[in-house]
Amino acid sequence: MDGNDKVALVVGASRGIGRQIAIDLAKNGYAVVVAAKSTSDARGVVPFPPDPNSPQSTISTVEREIVEAGGRATAIPVDVRDFAGVQALVDKTIEIYHRLDVLIFNSGAIWWASVEDTPMKRFQLLQRVNPEGLYGAVQAALPHLKARRGRIVVVSPPIYSRFFRGKTAYAVGKVGMSVLTVGLAMDFKRQGLADMAITSLWPAAAIQSAATQSHTSSDPSAASSLRKPNIFSDAVLAVLRAPAPVVSGQLFLDEDFLRSPEGGGVTDFSKYALVPGTEPRRIMPARLPDLSVEEQDDEGTRMDSAKGRKAKAKL
């Protein structure tokens, strides 16, 4: 899937990884709708462009960056906790560009603490922004993506037990997002939509972002453990170029997919190091568990609650 005349909606595009994805999609020919909560008067931002990990970076400044570089972009604010607002975002995208080919969901709330130290309100926020926000975006976008045999890329992790440690509330939501990736891919397969795909991506090594700034400001040497966000946007573009059956339902790490033949067979990752000459430590496992079972295709008696409800409605 190349970008010529295609339209991508990037949710969570104001800073860091999301901003980089939006900019690189535009460089590759996509018209990009950049969506997030933060807006500003981009005309008055000095210096420009702002630090991409600072509060001065908003969807308004990202739109300006793309347009001034010769690309096409529209900034539309959204709070992913509000499904009506998410639906309005997708409707506005279709009103402006008349199509939707790619949905990138990068929005995310972060809280890493024990269960005891995670208040109920914080837990609810994590779930509303992360899995619920994703589910709403997918629900709103799916009819338009089906019309174009489009793609979805979700920023969520592979599923393995170590990920739950010390951040259980966060993991509940993030792993739930990965479950949606695997489950929707199964829906596509059932529906004969072999040319559609949903894929999860996650960093193999830590990436510079607003979340890492507090650490590096107190310990500048920590920057040597970080990569630039363009490794992630390169992986997104590689996923979009790959055949749908190869990537659909997969929970990839950015580096591992880029190393694969389908991801371009990259072998030199030195250009992605934030500090030249360093080799950022891999924080993800070298091997991940296989979630499939021997009885994978045995569904038993298939149930469809939606079909049953439709039948009752006709009575």
Judged by DSSP in three states, 193 sits in coil
Q: What is the DSSP letter of 220?
A: G
Tokens of 240: 């979009």
In terms of Cβ atoms closer than 10 Å to its own Cβ (0-12, 13-18, 19+), residue 38 is middle
Taking Cα atoms as reference points, which of 62, 4, 9, 10 lies closest to residue 28?
4
Q: Which candidate in 97, 135, 170, 272 is catalytic?
A: 170
What are 197's strand-pairing partners?
Answer: 151
Kindly write down the DSSP assignment for every residue of 125-187, as one continuous string. HHHHHTHHHHHHHHHHHHHHHHHHT-EEEEE-PPP-GGGGTT-HHHHHHHHHHHHHHHHHHHH
What is the token pair recorded at 244? Answer: 């749908």
- HEC secondary structure over 234-290: HHHHHHHHCCHHHHCCCEEEHHHHHHCCCCCCCCCCHHHECCCCCCCCECCCCCCCC
Q: Report whether 173 contacts 107 (CB < 8 A).
A: no
Cα 248 to Cα 311: distance, rounded to the nearest angstrom? 31
Between CA 201 and CA 232 the distance in angstroms is 8
Catalytic (active site) residue 97: no
Catalytic residues: 170
